[in-house]
Amino acid sequence: MRCKWIFVLSFLLLFHAGQAQTLGKKIKDIKLKGVSQVSVDRLGNFFVISKSGVIKKYDPQGKELASLKNPHGTLLEPWFHPIIFIYNKNKQTISTYGRNFENAKITPLDPAWAIEPQLVCPTNDNKIWIYDGSDASLKKVNPLTQEVMVEFSIDTTQFKNTPHFTHLREYQSMLFLLDPESGIYIFNNIGKRVHHIQASGLLHFNFFGEELYYLHENKINFFDLYSEETTTIPVDAGFQFALVTDERILVIQQKKGSLYEFNPQPK
C-alpha cells in the first residue's frame, strides 16, 4: 500500500512538472532599430519605443498598426484603452493620444505639484501619480481640481546608493517603482512598502492578471502579487524586454522582437 502511494505521489509530481509554462510556437520576428521602452495595452497590442524616439504599435499578430515620430517620452502608458499616455520629463508635459496616435492633447504639468517631476503615470480613476526626485516623494493629484490627494516620501536610507527610478505604475491599488540597480519596489496607496523584488539590471516590468512580470537572467519571472510566489518561463539569451498577453509573448532585443503563441496554464 505504501509503495502504491509513493508511486502516485511521484506521478503527480512529474505531472505537475510537465505543466511548467513554456513559450509556444513562434509566429514571427519583427525587425527593430534600438529599443528604449516597451508596453502593451488591454487589447493585446504591443508598443515599442526606439532610441531615436519613434513609437510603433503592433497588433497581436505582429502587424504594425500606427507610429508616432519623435515624441521623446519618458514614460509610455497605453493600458487605459483607448487613451495612450506619454510623459515628457524634459518638457514636463503630459500628452494623450487616441488609439492610433490621433487627437493629440498636450498639457503642461503644474510646477506647484513637484520641483523635479521625474516620473508621471495615470491612474484608473483619471488622476495622476508624480514622483518628485527633489525629495523622493510621491503625490497623487487630481488635474481637474489641482488637488493633491495623497502624498508620502520614500525612505531613501534603505538604499545602498541613491535610487534612480526609471518607471512608475499604479496597478490594483498599489504603486510600483523600478530602480534598475536594486529592483522593483511595491507600495500600497498610502505609502507603506509591502515588497521589494531584488533584481539588478531590470529595464521593464508589467502585469498579467494578478501577477507582475519581468525579464531577468534569461527567464520571464511571474510574481504573484498576493501569494508572493514566483513562476518562470525560460527564454533564449540576449533578450532585454518581455511583453505578455493571454495569447502572446513578445520578447525583445535591440534589433528584433520574437513573437510567440502563449497558452497560460491554470494554477
Quote the pLDDT of residue 55.
Answer: 96
- What's the distance, Cα to Cα, between the start and end of the chain in Å? 30
| CB proximity list for 135: less than 8 A, separation 6 or greater | 115, 153
Tell me the HSE value of 181 on the side-chain side, using a 13 A CA sphere. 7
Question: CA-CA distance, 58 to 252, in Å (whole number)?
Answer: 13
**142 contacts 98 by C-beta, under 8 angstroms:** no
Rounded to an integer, what distance in angstroms lies between the CA atom of residue 75 and that of residue 120? Answer: 7
Q: Alpha carbon of 80 to those of 43, 89, 170, 196: distances in Å?
A: 10, 21, 11, 26
pLDDT of residue 267: 66
pLDDT tens track, the chain, 267 positions? 444 444 433 434 333 433 468 899 999 999 999 999 999 999 999 999 999 999 999 999 999 999 999 777 899 999 998 999 999 999 999 999 999 999 999 999 999 999 999 999 999 999 999 999 999 999 999 999 999 999 999 988 877 788 899 999 999 999 999 999 999 999 998 899 999 999 999 999 999 999 999 999 999 999 999 999 999 999 999 999 999 999 999 999 999 999 999 998 876
Q: Round to whole Å and give the CA distance between 125 and 110.
A: 19
Which superfamily does 22-261 belong to?
TolB, C-terminal domain (2.120.10.30)
| pLDDT at residue 114, as a whole number | 97
Nearest C-alpha neighbor of 233 from the set 26, 17, 14, 23: 23
**pTM for the whole structure:** 0.90
Cell of 222: 511571474
Backbone torsions φ then ψ of 17, nearest 5 degrees: -60, -35
Asked if residue 54 lies in contact with residue 66, where contact means CB atoms within 8 angstroms, the answer is no
